[in-house]
Structure 1
């Protein structure tokens, strides 16, 4: 015989248990879709910005052009005969300038010979005088290249040897 119903047991049927996993699965799918869509939008935006930005030309490592043979000039001193001997190299990172230097090398040598011949020994005795001569030489080379309509991206004129006598 079945046991009689107690007061703690109710005649109301029990609620069915909700399953949580289908809701969690839907939530994970929605979040993953939102994340993927956001990533796709961000990549498209980055790609559009990269296409809109002007492309920078590739920068070369420093290229050195030796002006051979050494420069030997009479200095402009009036009290004695003095000479300058200089080994000169030009520095650029631009391929078009490198090509222009090769094309205009005789004119560059001429301009630098004239510039070096205007110097006096006392001007070149100090470091500051040598640095001013480097700047003036760089300006001369740039001016020549610009006058020829060539690229003039000369970074520096360096002396690998400089002797006054």
Structure 2
């Protein structure tokens, strides 16, 4: 076996008290440059994100709830075949928009007409359970919004509430 010849060790440089320190190696400068570049990219990205995000304008303050009773109570014949059944319902509309409240007051006759027609299409079987009444409630709310929209009026009705329902 032959051994590779050993390389002689480099002689250590004597430290002299007044001598200038040796220049940092190239590897250290490259690392410093990469870190600086990364910090600049992150700062630029953060600034771009901050400047490009949509401005958050003051949120529109909702007014107090306004409950508008559609009086008198609705009384309609139900569409039951072979039997005479009636539906009596007290209805209120909820809005927080003053323009919508004014539009409801102005267009109450049209709203009542459309709701009477809708209620008269129902059968007692459809309205026996909670889900049937909730379905009718959703249809009635859509009908009210549709009337207001057709009249080019504010249609921000939040809810239609049955405050009384009697099926006889």
Give the shorter-chain TM-score range.
0.5 to 0.7
1:82 maps to 85
User: Is the aligned partner of 1:159 residue 2:162?
Assistant: yes
1:105 is matched with which residue: 100, 108, 111?
A: 108
Q: Is there any run of 5+ residues in structure 2 with no aligned partner, and where?
A: 1-54
- What is aligned with 2:99? 96
* Partner residue, 1:14: none
Unaligned runs of 5+ in 1: 1-51
Q: Report the more deviating stretch, 58-67 or 126-135.
A: 58-67
**2:73 matched to which residue of 1?**
70
TM-score (norm 1): 0.67
SS in 1 for 2:79: coil
Deviations 1:4-23 (A, max 9, x none): xxxxxxxxxxxxxxxxxxxx
Q: Which of 92, 95, 119 is equivalent to 2:122? A: 119
Q: Which has the higher helix share?
A: 1
Q: How many angstroms apart in 2 are the aligned matches of 1:92 and 1:98?
A: 7
RMSD value over aligned CA atoms?
A: 1.1
Q: Give the distance between the partners of 1:99 and 1:54, measured in 2 at CA.
A: 27
- Distance in 1 of aligned mates of 2:76 and 2:57: 47
Query: What's the CA shift string for 1:100-120, capped at 9, x where partnerless?
Result: 001100000000000000000
Q: Aligned with 1:78: secondary structure?
A: coil
TM-score, scaled to structure 2:
0.65
Alpha-carbon offset, residue 79 of structure 1: 2.0
Q: C-alpha separation between the residues in 1 aligned to 2:101 and 2:156?
A: 9
